[in-house]
Structure formats: C-alpha cells, structure tokens
Amino acid sequence: MTELKWQDPPARRGGTGVDYSVVIDKLKERPGRWALIADAWKTSAPPAAFRQNGCEATARRNAGTKTWSVYARFPAPASSAPAASPAKAAEKAKVQEAVRTGTALTPPPAAPRQPKPPAAGNQAPVRPANDMGLTKFLADRRARGAVDHPE
C-alpha cells in the first residue's frame, strides 16, 4: 500500500496581479487613441479587465517570437460620430416601435399560390405548383393496377 504524505499545497505563482485601473484611467484621458499596453504578452488574448471596464483591447503577434503586443483604447464619445440622416432616424424609430409593440418578428401573411391558367389552345390539366411529379406517379401506379386506398 502507498504511504500518504499530508501537507498543504504551495501558494499560487500565476498571474502578475497588475492593477489595470490606473491604465484604464489614462486611456479615458485620451479617448479614441490606441495605446501599447504590453509588448511581450505571452498569450493572444488581451486582459479581460479592459473589456469589463468599457475599453477595446486587441493583441497582435510579434514577428519572430511567440509573444504578442497588447493594445487598448477607451472608445471615443458618441458625439464625435457623424449625425444620422433624418430618413435613417425615422427608419430606426419605426424599428424601435415594432420591437416595443412585439410586431418586429411577425412575418406578413403568406399569399396563397394559384396555379396558372392553361394557355389558349392548350387544354392540358394544370398541375399545382408544388406537385413535384406526384400526379404522374399516382397515374403510373394506377395504370399498374395499384389501389390508392385499400379497404
């Protein structure tokens, strides 16, 4: 039987424990401008702290190494975006009203499909648009003596 050795595990060594709030505050001072946060990041994912605090972050692989450069920015205020045209604003208002009333995803009623009338001089029976050869199949089956509805 194996003898067990009872002891507590050592303290965790992972993580740098960086406080990103200082970096995020500096990003807020210059919204819309990208800043290089780290130039030798060990993973391709930027820290989640930026996204959780309203920043945009991305990582780009460094040439010739297995490291990434991490960039982040605080988004520019919405007032600097170009104003929407009145037509787009009206369309957006219609969509918001449809969402509010619950009719946004209700499709219009389907129009019933009518078979085309036969061309002049051609009195062949008109098959329904969605027949997919069923009429011919049933006619051939009856010609072989098959019964449609057995009794």
Q: What is the pLDDT of residue 30?
A: 92
Q: pLDDT digit string (tens) for 82-107?
A: 566 788 888 888 888 887 887 777 66
| 35-38: long-range contacts, CB 8 A cutoff, minimum separation 24 | 35/71, 35/72, 35/73, 36/69, 36/70, 36/71, 37/70, 37/71, 37/72, 38/69, 38/70
Closest residue by Cα to residue 53 from 68, 73, 80 = 73
Q: How confident is the model at residue 138 (pLDDT cuts 50, 70, 90)?
A: confident
Cα separation, 14 vs 19, in Å, equals 15
What pLDDT does 95 receive?
A: 82
Q: Which two tokens stand for residue 130?
A: 């969605």
